[in-house]
């Protein structure tokens, strides 16, 4: 068991999500999430995060956390590690970095961005 989360850049995050079975958590404000988010992600505030920690299987589930720029997600990722999750990743550069590269590489639908 690791005692630290791992950071992934947008390419690593895409590869992880392509494998399937990863829970993607957006810790930005709800309004920002409603405006645009990574497809399949869930928006969790502090209370919802605590409930998530209580109900999810910690050992077998990969969790990718992101915020605006990759700073706040690091503390959330570490919190998940401290609560027994073993496969935790923080998106380096956050949603803004992910969005920038996806806007460059493909035409995304309005629903996603």
pLDDT tens-digit map of 50-83: 999 888 777 678 999 999 999 999 999 999 999 9
pTM above 0.85, yes or no: yes
> Is 67 annotated as catalytic?
yes
Do the domain assignments include residue 113?
no
The CATH code of the domain that includes 39 is 3.40.250.10
- For tokens 């935790």, name the residue: 88
Q: Report how many domains make up the chain.
A: 1
Of 67, 76, 81, 91, which is the active-site residue? 67
Tell me whether residue 93 is in a domain.
yes
Residue 85 and residue 2 in contact, taking contact as beta carbons nearer than 8 Å? no
Taking only the tens place, the pLDDT of each residue in 6-54 is 999 999 999 999 999 999 999 999 999 999 999 999 999 988 999 998 8
pLDDT at 107: 46
Q: Where are the alpha helices (DSSP H) in the chain?
A: 10-19, 30-35, 46-55, 72-82, 94-105
- For residue 112, being part of any structural domain is answered with no
């Amino acid at each position: 068991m690791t005692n630290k989360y791992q950071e992934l850049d947008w390419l690593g995050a895409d590869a992880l999500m392509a494998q399937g079975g990863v829970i993607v958590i957006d810790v930005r404000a709800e309004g920002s999430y409603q405006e645009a988010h990574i497809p399949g992600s869930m928006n969790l505030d502090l209370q919802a995060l605590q409930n998530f920690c209580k109900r999810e299987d910690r050992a077998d589930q990969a969790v990718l956390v992101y915020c605006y720029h990759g700073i706040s997600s690091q503390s959330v990722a570490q919190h998940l590690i401290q609560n027994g999750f073993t496969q935790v990743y923080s998106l380096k550069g956050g949603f803004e970095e992910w969005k920038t590269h996806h806007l460059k590489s493909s035409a995304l639908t309005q629903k996603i961005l």
